[in-house]
Amino acid sequence: MTTTLFDGATLTGWHATPRLPVPVAPGRPGPDTSSDSYRRAAASHGRWYIEDDAIVGGQEPPGSGLGAYLVTDASYGDFELSFEVKPDWPADTGILVRTTDDGLRGFQILIDHRRSGGIGGFYGNGIGGFHALAHNVDVERDAQGAPVGLIAEDPATTLEPVTAEKTALLSYAASADEFQRAWRWNDFNEFRVRCVGKYPVLTTWVNGVKLYELDTAAIRHPNYDREAVAELLGREGHIALEVHDNDPRMGRDRWGTDAVVRWRNFQLTPVTED
């Protein structure tokens, strides 16, 4: 039976949490919770509101550089999830699946709509810090400097190189050209995410085009321990929407001063493992 995760009018069934630093992997040392930066981050739960039948997420206050998550109250096992998303440029966002109740640790599907972003790829948030993707995006600008569309990034000027190690984690990757043809600029894009298995196989599509697949039972990464991750997250987890913070390395290239992300039409269908 398909479940609608958002009623189009309220945030019933969701809760907001701060975006806090976490250990890179289970069992690793945690952050300094007494630091000023940690306390500042812990005080912000983001700016979440409804507009035109969509969830809108942004930094609170706007331009503060502080991130947050919006997390489902319920948890889910194996599923296919579809939703539509419209991020501003730049807005480093994503959706985490099989995540903890605070949204901090889980498998993230990247929707990094910013310079050097790897849309549709994967990141191990607090579960190894792995990146799995095959190409990055940048933005094309008009004569006045306004962004007008996505382009493939020049590897010579990237902020986050696509390495052979990142690509090797994937069991499937669409080409940069396939992604560019599928993506709709300044519009809602439909994502579909499949998450199946104790060590989940994760698959992403955008506007019907398969982008990436990651078999987390098979990946090899120095910080990833599939048994420790399975013990931490369990077979069911929450789903979380991300508003990123502005770290010193990327600053406003990661999240624009007034940027927001819009989400709508969340439909989740349970899946029986193959």
* DSSP sequence for the chain: --EES--SS--TTEEEEE-----SSTTS----TTSHHHHHHHT---EEEEETTEEEEE-SSTTS---EEEEESS-BSSEEEEEEEEE-SSEEEEEEEEE-TTS-SEEEEEEEESTTB-TT-EEEETTT--EE-S--EEEEE-TTS-EEEEEEPPGGG-SS---HHHHHT-SEE--HHHHHHH--TTS-EEEEEEEETTTTEEEEEETTEEEEEEETTT---TT--HHHHHHHH-S-BEEEEEE----TTTGGGTB-TT-EEEEEEEEEEE----
Report the alpha-carbon distance of residue 201 to residue 103 in Å, rounded: 20
% of the chain surpassing 90 pLDDT: 98
- List phi, psi (to 5°) of 257: -55, -45
CA angle (25 as vertex; 204, 251 as ends), nearest 5: 70
Q: Confidence class of residue 79 from pLDDT cuts 50, 70 and 90?
A: very high
Report the alpha-carbon distance of residue 119 to residue 180 in Å, rounded: 11
| CATH code, residues 3-19+34-270 | 2.60.120.560
pLDDT at 273 over 80: no
How far from 165 is each of 159, 169, 221, CA to CA, in Å? 17, 7, 9
Q: What average pLDDT does the chain have?
A: 97
pLDDT for the residue numbered 272: 87
* Structure tokens, 200: 């989940």
For residue range 103-131, what is the model confidence (pLDDT) as tens digits?
Answer: 999 999 999 999 999 999 999 999 999 99
For residue range 199-250, what is the model confidence (pLDDT) as tens digits?
Answer: 999 999 999 999 999 999 999 999 999 999 999 999 999 999 999 999 998 9
User: Whose CA is closest to 124, among 197, 38, 219, 206?
Assistant: 219
Q: Domains of the chain: which residue ranges? A: 3-19+34-270
Q: Confidence class of residue 274 from pLDDT cuts 50, 70 and 90?
A: low
Dihedral angle over CA of 226, 232, 236, 237, nearest 10: -110
For residue range 244-272, what is the model confidence (pLDDT) as tens digits?
Answer: 999 998 999 999 999 999 999 999 999 98
Burial of 220 (0-12, 13-18, 19+ CB in 10 A): exposed
User: Whose CA is closest to 200, among 242, 223, 229, 238?
Assistant: 229
Residue 66 contacts residue 178 (beta carbons within 8 Å): no
**DSSP β-ladder status, 47-51 and 54-58:** antiparallel
Report the alpha-carbon distance of residue 47 to residue 158 in Å, rounded: 30
